[in-house]
Structure 1
Amino acid sequence: MKLIVGLGNPGRKYEDTRHNIGFKVIDQLSEKLGIELDNKKFNGIYGKKNIEGESIFLLKPYTYMNLSGESVRPIMDYFDIPLEDLLVVYDDLDLPVGKIRLRQKGSAGGHNGIKSLIAHLNSQDFKRIRIGVDRPPSGMSVPDYVLSRFRKEEEDQIKNAVNKSAAASEKWINTPFLEVMNEFNQ
Structure 2
Amino acid sequence: MPENTPWVVLGLGNPGPEYANTRHNVGYLTVDVLATRMGESLKSHRSRTHIADGRLGMLPGGIPGPRVILARSDSYMNTTGGPVGRLMSFLGIPPQKLLVIHDDLDLQAHDLRLKFSGGEGGHNGLKSLSQNLGTKDYHRLRIGIGRPPGRQNPADYVLSAFPVKDRPDWEVTFEQAADAVEDVVLSGFLAAQQSLHSR
> Scaled by the length of structure 1, what TM-score is found?
0.93
1:148 is aligned to 2:160: yes
Within the candidate set 102, 105, 112, 2:117 is matched to 105
CA positional deviation for 1:21: 0.4
Q: Match of 1:83? A: 95
Decide whether aligned partners of structure 1 residues 157 and 96 sit closer, same or farther in structure 2, where only a CA change above 3 A counts. farther
| CA contact 2:38–2:55 (8 Å) conserved in 1 | no
In structure 1, distance between residues paired with 2:65 and 2:150: 50
1:21 matched to which residue of 2?
A: 26
How far does residue 40 in structure 1 lie from its aligned partner after superposition? Answer: 3.3
User: Deviation of residue 153 (structure 1)?
Assistant: 4.8
- C-alpha contact 1:6 1:22 (8 A) present in aligned 2: yes
Query: Does residue 8 of structure 1 match 2:28?
Result: no
How many Å separate the matches in 2 of 1:123 and 1:56? Answer: 22
Query: Alpha-carbon deviation of 1:34?
Result: 1.5
State the match for 1:73 in structure 2. Answer: 85
Listed as ranges, the gaps of 5+ residues in structure 2 are 1-5, 57-63
Distance apart, 1:39 and its partner CA: 2.9
- Please point out which of 20, 32, 38 is paired with 2:37: 32
**Distance in 1 separating the partners of 2:65 and 2:177:** 22
Asked if the contact 1:4–1:57 (Cα under 8 Å) also holds between the matched residues in 2, the reply is: yes
Given that residues 7 and 185 in structure 2 are in contact (C-alpha distance below 8 angstroms), is that contact kept between their aligned partners in structure 1?
Answer: yes
Q: Determine helix, strand or coil for the equivalent of 1:173.
A: helix
How many correspondences in the alignment?
A: 186
Structure 1 residue 107: Cα displacement: 0.6
Q: 1:98 offset after TM fit, Å?
A: 0.6
What 5-or-longer segments of structure 1 have no aligned partner?
Answer: none
Question: Identity of paired residues, percent?
Answer: 35
User: Which one-letter code corresponds to 1:82 in the other structure?
Assistant: P
Over the aligned positions, Cα root-mean-square deviation in angstroms equals 1.6
The alpha-carbon deviation at position 156 of structure 1 amounts to 3.9
Q: Deviations over 1:154-183 (max 9, x none)?
A: 334422221111011122222210000011
Structure 1 CA distance for aligned equivalents of residues 169 and 138 of structure 2: 26
